C-alpha cells in the first residue's frame, strides 16, 4: 500500500485549503490476491485503517475494530464506494499564522481569509461543497472544473442546499468535535495502542 500525501512543490499557493491541490493524493494498493485495476470512484484515506486490517486476512471475528464495509478493497469489490466523503481541516491558530507568514508571498491573496478559518467539505464523484467558518461557501463541479475555479452556488441553488444540509447533518452527528480541534488525544493514542496489541499480528 503506497500513499503520498506531501504535495512538495505543488499546491503551496492554495496552502491550508480544501482544494484539489492539497487534498488529492495518489493511492496504490498491491497484494497477491488483488487484481490490477484503476478506479475512478472516490475513496477516503480514513478508510485505510479498515483496509489494512482487512488485508491481514485474519478472521473478521478476531479483529474487533474492523468494519468491513469501510475497507476500500471491500468497497471496490462490492461497488459500494462512499457516495459522500466528509473532509475537515480544523486549524490550530498559532500554527496557521506561522505557516501563512512563511508562505505569505506565494499564497493567493484571495484565499487568505479562507486559510485562517476552519474548513469542512463534502464531495461526491461529481461535486464538492466547501464551507468555511467565516461563512464563505463554494460549490464546484469537479468533473467539468477539476481545478475548482468556478463557484456554481448561484447557478445550482437546489444542489447547494442539498449538500449543505447533508454536511450539517453529518457534523451534528459528531459527538467529539472538541477533540478534532487538537492533535491526537491521549485517549486516541491509548485506543490505537490497545488495538495493535489485541491483534497480536507478528512481523510489524
**pLDDT tens digit string along 149-161?**
999 999 999 999 9
Q: Are 23 and 11 in contact (CB under 8 A)?
A: no
Amino acid 159: pLDDT: 98
pLDDT at 109 > cutoff 80: no
Which domains, and CATH codes, for the chain? 83-195 (3.30.1120.10)
- Name the pLDDT band for 22 (thresholds 50, 70, 90): confident
The CA distance from 18 to 3, in Å, is 18
Between 178 and 112, residue with greater pLDDT: 112
CB atoms within 10 A of CB 25: 11
Amino acid 169: pLDDT: 92
pLDDT at 58 > cutoff 60: yes
> Which contacts (CB < 8 Å, 24+ apart) does range 41-44 have?
41/76, 41/81, 41/125, 42/81, 42/82, 42/85, 42/123, 42/124, 42/125, 43/72, 43/75, 43/76, 43/81, 43/82, 44/82, 44/85
Between 127 and 190, residue with greater pLDDT: 127
Q: How far apart are the first and last CA of the chain?
A: 14
pTM (predicted TM-score): 0.71
Question: Beta strand pairing status for 127-132 and 119-123?
Answer: antiparallel
Amino acid 8: pLDDT: 45
Highest mean pLDDT range out of 46-60, 82-96, 171-185?
Answer: 46-60
Amino acid at each position: 500500500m503506497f500513499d503520498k500525501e506531501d504535495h512538495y512543490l505543488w499546491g503551496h499557493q492554495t496552502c491550508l485549503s480544501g482544494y484539489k491541490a492539497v487534498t488529492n493524493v495518489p493511492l496504490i494498493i498491491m497484494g497477491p490476491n488483488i487484481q490490477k485495476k484503476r478506479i475512478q470512484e472516490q475513496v477516503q484515506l480514513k478508510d485505510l485503517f479498515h483496509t489494512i486490517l482487512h488485508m491481514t486476512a485474519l478472521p473478521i471475528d478476531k479483529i474487533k475494530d474492523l468494519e468491513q464495509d469501510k475497507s476500500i478493497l471491500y468497497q471496490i469489490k462490492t461497488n459500494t464506494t462512499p457516495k459522500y466523503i466528509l473532509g475537515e481541516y480544523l486549524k490550530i491558530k498559532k500554527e496557521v499564522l506561522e505557516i501563512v507568514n512563511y508562505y505569505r508571498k506565494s499564497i493567493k491573496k484571495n484565499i487568505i481569509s479562507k486559510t485562517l478559518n476552519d474548513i469542512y467539505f463534502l464531495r461526491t464523484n461529481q461535486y464538492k461543497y466547501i464551507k468555511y467558518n467565516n461563512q464563505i461557501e463554494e460549490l464546484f463541479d469537479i468533473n467539468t472544473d477539476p481545478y475548482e475555479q468556478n463557484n456554481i452556488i448561484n447557478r445550482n441553488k437546489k444542489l447547494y442546499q442539498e449538500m449543505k444540509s447533508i454536511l450539517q447533518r453529518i457534523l451534528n452527528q459528531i459527538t467529539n468535535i472538541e477533540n478534532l480541534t487538537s492533535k491526537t488525544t491521549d485517549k486516541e493514542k491509548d485506543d490505537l495502542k490497545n488495538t495493535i496489541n489485541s491483534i497480536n499480528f507478528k512481523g510489524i
